[in-house]
Amino acid sequence: MQYRADLHIHTCLSPCGSLEMSPRAIVQRALEVGINLIGIADHNNTSNCVTFEKICKETAGIECLYGLEATTAEEIHVVCLFDTVMQAKEFGDYWYSTLTPVKNIPEKLGDQVYVDEDDGILGEVEIFLNSASTIGIDGLRVLVHERGGLVVPAHVDRSSNSLSSQLGYLPPGDFDALELSKFFVARSRRVDELNLQGMGSCPFVTASDAHYLHDIGKAYIEFEVDELSVEALRAVLEKKRFSKVSNARVL
Amino acid sequence: MKIDELAATLGYTIVSRQYENREIADGYTSDLMSDVMGNAQEESLLITIQAHRNSVAVAVQLDFAGILICNGRAAPAEMLDAASEHGLAVLTTDENQFVSSYRVYLAIKGAC
């Protein structure tokens, strides 16, 4: 089956994510723009994933990988995705417990709500989700791989919270891919321009990093697998049998 | 000591367009915003090389007097837009953070 996948989407749970980003609205928007695989990656928490599972099960033409965008101790953002909500939640609950406990103040920092299929608020997350974990990127990679997940350092070209801004090199270890931001890909920039030593042959992907509905599908990857799974996707990435597309508007 | 006086005394450039000339009560040197959020005092001058909008968000959140960007790094337009929106002073210097921390400390707190 052919997939057009946007594997980095925030929901209303992320403090920087718009409140319009309910699971139902995200799925609807994804279908509208031709995305048939979404990756749910809120900052450091997976509380909205279970609602996505419900909606995707009853909606034809859309599949989901579940996870979060981890903030490591070095303040590098890393997209971590799993096959099932159960796997994502187990990891997510643990990861959330490792965050430096800065209490969220919704009026100043943003709402952190998780909702049901009808956009009804189920609860609010207490710790500020743009806080960082005490666990570094190496520790994170091991934890996620042990649980069968995918590890993709996010927006490596960005000037903040990226491998290039925080480290300037790719640490040794098997990262599944490196994510370029939608603007980097849209500008057709070259990876050798990045401030990133030791990239080796790690594949580069892209995704929207959508915090608003209109950004969903602005960047995606296309690939084909017989049956979707993290393992199948990992193999596709390793063999580089996918293409990257961005139609982000570059000013 | 206020922002204008610090900039003049230590030779720093103020790059934000609109800013409040705040009194600097303290300083904090860090490039990890989570560390700043957990440990810095209000009305501080943030001494950092993280020249981006997130630093402004944190500085505003903590009611900082301003941000000093070291190592000759430039403040990008979106950082300065965010700073001006909140009246936050952004300064730049070619010094590294070790030198700036020492000089700012002396300036606002006097000799040890």
pLDDT tens readout for residues A136-179: 999 999 999 999 999 999 999 999 999 999 999 999 999 999 99
pLDDT band at B112 (very low <50, low <70, confident <90, very high): low
Q: What is the pLDDT of chain B when averaged over all its residues?
A: 95
**Could you read off the pLDDT of A76-98 as tens digits, one per residue?**
999 999 999 999 999 999 999 99
Q: Residue B111: pLDDT above 70?
A: no
Q: Residue B28: pLDDT above 80?
A: yes
Within 8 A by CB and 6+ apart from A83, the residues are A65, A66, A148, A229, A230
The average pLDDT across A5-34 equals 96
A156 touches A162 (CB < 8 A): yes
Q: What is the pLDDT of residue B38?
A: 87
Q: B37 and A102 in contact by Cβ < 8 A? A: yes
ipTM of model? 0.80
Q: Which residue from B34, B50, B61 is facing A100, i.e. has the nearest CB?
A: B34
A70 touches A38 (CB < 8 A): no
Q: Give the closest-approach CA distance of A75 to chain B in angstroms.
A: 7
**Could you read off the pLDDT of A94-143 as tens digits, one per residue?**
999 999 998 998 988 889 999 999 999 999 999 999 999 999 999 999 99
Q: What is the pLDDT of residue A96?
A: 98
The average pLDDT across B29-44 equals 94
Residue whose entry in the numeric block shows the structure tokens 């952190």: A112
Q: Residue B62: pLDDT above 80?
A: yes
Q: Give the mutation candidate from A16, A44, A72, A75 for the B interface (greatest B CB count, under 10 A).
A: A75
DSSP reduced 3-state for A137: helix
Q: How far apart are CA A211 and CA A14, in angstroms?
A: 8
**Nearest partner of A77 among A172, A200, A209, A187, judged by Cα:** A209
